[in-house]
Every structure is written in structure tokens, then in C-alpha cells.
Chain A
Amino acid sequence: MGILQNVKNAVRQRSIHVAYVDVGSCNGCDIEILACLAPRYDIEQYGIYVHNNPREADILLVIGAYTPGWADRLLPLWEKIPDPKVAIAIGNCPISGCLFARPGTLIHPPVAAHIPISAEVPGCPPRPTEILQAVLALAPEVFRDYEVRVL
């Protein structure tokens, strides 16, 4: 592994673009992600930008319990994100369906059955600091040795 690769690894972890997709949550986790933008948590100080544009995203935050409306949309959305990419499940809903996983429900959790999930942040909803911690934990891993691994 060359010195160039080390420089790339060091630099790229400070330039992460995030998109979030709500596949049927109660909105609680959405606003906790928005709270990460607030000056108190200030996700941008770590070089993480929430643009909400899948085509330039590196990390996809998935919120919600996978409703039928997303059945033929989430996978195409995931495929639109350029490599390398990771998805983080935020909240209990994408992990287990939380309170909504009851007889008669319309949801189909877990989201990991539909797209590959790299990390899970449980909580209903998780605190902004926990979301931030998960994103920061994955930020160095997204691009690490990407050329060595793939090419």
C-alpha cells in the first residue's frame, strides 16, 4: 500500500455526503437527523454534508419500516448511489418494525432484507449524538483502500 493511498484514506473520511430516505417512519427519526445539522451537533464540522441527493451520496441513512409504497423504489434508489456506499438503519423501525410490527400491519421490516445495511442505530428515536456517532464510525471505512479492494 502506497503513501498515496494513505493520503487518500485520510482525506476522504473528511468528505462524506449523506442522503436520507424515509421508508415509512413516524417522522421522529427524521427530525433527529435534521437536529444533527443544528449548530449544537454540527455534523458539517466533521466534513459530512447532508445533501439528500442519492446520486452524490456516500452514506444512505434509512429511516422507517419499509412500507408497500417503497417496494419497487428503494432498491433502484440504492443502485443509483455510486460506489463505494454504505447504508445505516436509523431507529428501531428499519431493524424490527418497532411498534408497527403487529398483525394487520402493512410494513415489511427489516430493511436489511431489501438492501444491504452496514450499521444499525436502535432507539425510538435515537438521540442525534447516537446518529452522529454511527455516521462518524463508518466515515473512515467507506473509502478505506477502495482502489486496492476493487481494482
Chain B
Amino acid sequence: MRRIVDVSIPLGPIHPCFKEPARIKCETSGERVLAVEVELGYMKKGIERIMRGRPWQEVMFLAERVCGICSVIHNMVFIEGMEAISGISPAPRAALLRVVANELDRIQSHLLANFSYCYTIEHETLAMYLLDLREQVMDLLERLTGARVTCAYIVPGGVRFDLRDEDAALIRAGLAEVTRASARYTRIFETGPLIGLRSRGVGILTAKAARESHAVGPTARGSGISEDLRLRHPTYQQIGFSPVVRSEGDCFARVMVRFQEVQESIGIIGRCLDALVQGPIRAGGVCGAGKVSYSGEAPRGELSYLITTDEAGRVIDIAIQTPSIMNIEVCAHRMIPGVTSLADVTATFVSADPCIACTER
């Protein structure tokens, strides 16, 4: 049905606020945005098509290139899915090192998401602080895995490199610095009057709407839904943590959830390094035939892989569900309609931390 609106304004695909191409079509009446439609399709590479029929050794590199921001969790979920198929259990030391790598990746992803949000609401000072802090976390990730972005750290049965004691000490010292800085930036964000005006009460997603529309990750936790797949992961159960939940459901809550999760992740890494046992970092095993659906908590929410392999360890069929597609639709249908200004459309969209690359693959 055609609707008559005042103006239909397209934002994107090239837009100063967006890291990646996506087009948001806004139907407006005056400044008020009545409805939006997110148009995707600029990034479709067909990764799942390429993966089919290839050995897992190749698919693991393709899997971490589904998303360049949260590459460690894609690597982890695919490899742990392959381990579940083949009955391999990781070496105890390696299981802890995986969590360290994953949480470092989560910290840098959350800092980048909060940088994007602050940049979008034009608070460039805080944005640059956060981007600088992210570089420090990237250094620690590089210290642990040997690469900044696509590290391929996790392999079946274990991890690729061991962590030396002096590097563990360096990570601890680095994280102590990150804790101090991130606490300061959280306070700046929490108390900034202009930030509050742009963030509090903007883009509200109620708990009911979040549940109905299946929001995931920090977006859901910012609306009072206590759902975190890390609670079901054996290593996280051993280390112990509590998910961060806020009840406001606005842009402010979503960004604050990420800030608080950074602190939570630093705690998890500290406890992992404390619990680190001596021993081998690789366990034996051969990847075999089977079918599994395996999920993990990516920085943006629930990430699921449905993998079917044959006896040689080749991937016959694979389907990936990434968290961003849920949050983008939630954003388009529940958060943005009703915002009072066009400037809030981009801010609300970025507050849900959409990752177009992993949405379209």
C-alpha cells in the first residue's frame, strides 16, 4: 500500500555516520520520523556459498572473515562447533586462553561501538578518547594472538600460541590502565549533560517489544532482558560472571551496557589469568562427520552456526545467523519510528551497533 508522507529521506549508503554501506529510508512528517526501512544488499559476498565443500582448515579462515570487528567469536563458535561434531575437548589451559582472546575482542568491539555512537552524536572528544583506549586493547590482543584483526587464534583442540608469563603480566598491567580509563570515560558519558539530552529517552525499546522482536545482545540487555549465552558456556561457567542488564531501554542504556560489559570482561580476563593452569595448549583429535547447531555470545548478541561435515572434515553445509540482522530489524521497526528528529535516526541506528558485513556475509 502506498502511503502519503511529507518527505521520504534516504540516508546512505555513503554517510559520514556509517562505517559500512546501508541505506535507511525515512518517512517523515515535519521533523518527526514516522517509519523507516533499512535497505541492505551492498555487502553480499556469498561466504556460505564459498564455504560449502571446503575442508574445515579453509572454512575457519573464511569464518573469521565473516566479520572483521568480532572475528575471534566467529573463529571460536565455528571451531567449538567442529569440536562438538568430532568429540574433541580443548586442553584446559587453551580453554582459558580462548576466553581471554574472546573477551579482549569483546572489549575492543564495545569500545569501537561506543566510539561510533559518540562520533554520531558529535561528541568527538569522548569518541577520540575511546578510540585511543581501543588501540591499547588492540595491542594486548596482538600481544596474545599475534595479529590485530584476523588472528585465527583458536584451532580444534586448543589455541595456536601459548601465553608467556611476562605477556600475561603485560596484559594485566594494560588492563589495569584500561580499567581506570574506561571508568573515567563511563563517568563522562553518564554525567555529560549534552550527552544525556541526545541519549536519554531517545530510541526507546521496551522490554515487551524487545522480547517480541527477538532483540539480542547489549540491545536486549539494555531493555531489561537478562539473556547472555556466555552463561551456558562451560569455561565461562567455571570462571563465573553476571550479565549486565539495564532497564531504561534507550540509546543511553545500550551504550552504558557496553561500558559496563567492558568492566565485566576485564574482570573475566583477570580471573582467567588467575586460573591459568600449566600444561599443553593443544589436545589431539580428528575432525569427523556430523551435524551441529552451535551458538555463542558475540559482542553484538547471539551468533549461531549450523554446520554439517563429512568424514574427511569437509563442510558440506553451513548456515550462519549473526546477531546484527535481528538488531537492525528491531531498530527499524521498534526503536526509530517516533523519534523526534532526523539526527536521532542515525544515533539510534548506531546505538544498536549494526554490523552490515556480518549481516550480509
Measured CB to CB, the residues of A under 8 A from B are 19, 21-32, 34-35, 37-40, 51-54, 64-65, 67-70, 73, 77, 98-100, 102-107, 124-125, 127
Contacts and interface: CB of A to CB of B under 8 A. Distances in A.
Contact of B128 (A37, A67, A68, A103): A37
Contact of A100 (B21, B41, B50, B52): B50
A37 B131 contact: yes
B19 interface: yes
A109 B52 CA distance: 21
A23 B44 CA distance: 9
Interface stretch (B10-18, B159-167, B238-246, B284-292): B10-18
A124 B14 contact: no
From B14, B19, B54, B69, name the one whose CB has the most chain A CB atoms within 10 angstroms. Answer: B14
Q: Give the size range of B's interface with the partner.
A: 35 or more
A46 B356 CA distance: 31
Interface of B: 13-16, 19-21, 41-47, 49-50, 52, 54, 61-62, 65-69, 71, 112, 115, 128, 131-132, 134-135, 138, 148-150, 355-358
Main secondary structure of the interface of B (DSSP, over half): loop
B42 A34 contact: no
B195 to A, nearest CB: 20
Given A27-B355, A29-B68, A70 B148 contact: no
Given A25-B357, A28-B149, A125 B68 contact: yes
Contacts of A102: 50, 54
A31 B135 CA distance: 11
A65 B45 contact: yes
A38 B68 contact: no
From A24, A39, A124, name the one whose CB has the most chain B CB atoms within 10 angstroms. Answer: A24
Contacts of B150: 26, 28, 124-125
A106 B45 contact: yes
Contacts of B128: 37-39
B21 A104 contact: no
B68 to A, nearest CB: 3
Nearest to A29: B68
26 contacts: A22-B19, A22-B43, A24-B43, A24-B44, A27-B19, A27-B69, A27-B357, A29-B68, A30-B19, A30-B357, A31-B112, A34-B19, A35-B131, A35-B138, A37-B128, A37-B131, A38-B131, A38-B135, A52-B16, A53-B14, A69-B21, A99-B50, A103-B50, A105-B45, A106-B46, A124-B150
Nearest to B116: A34
Given A35-B138, A38-B134, A68-B44, 12 more contacts: A24-B42, A24-B45, A26-B71, A28-B65, A28-B149, A29-B68, A35-B131, A39-B132, A52-B16, A64-B43, A67-B42, A105-B45
B148 A69 contact: no
A39 B68 contact: no
A102 B41 CA distance: 20
B89 to A, nearest CB: 29
A16 B20 CA distance: 22
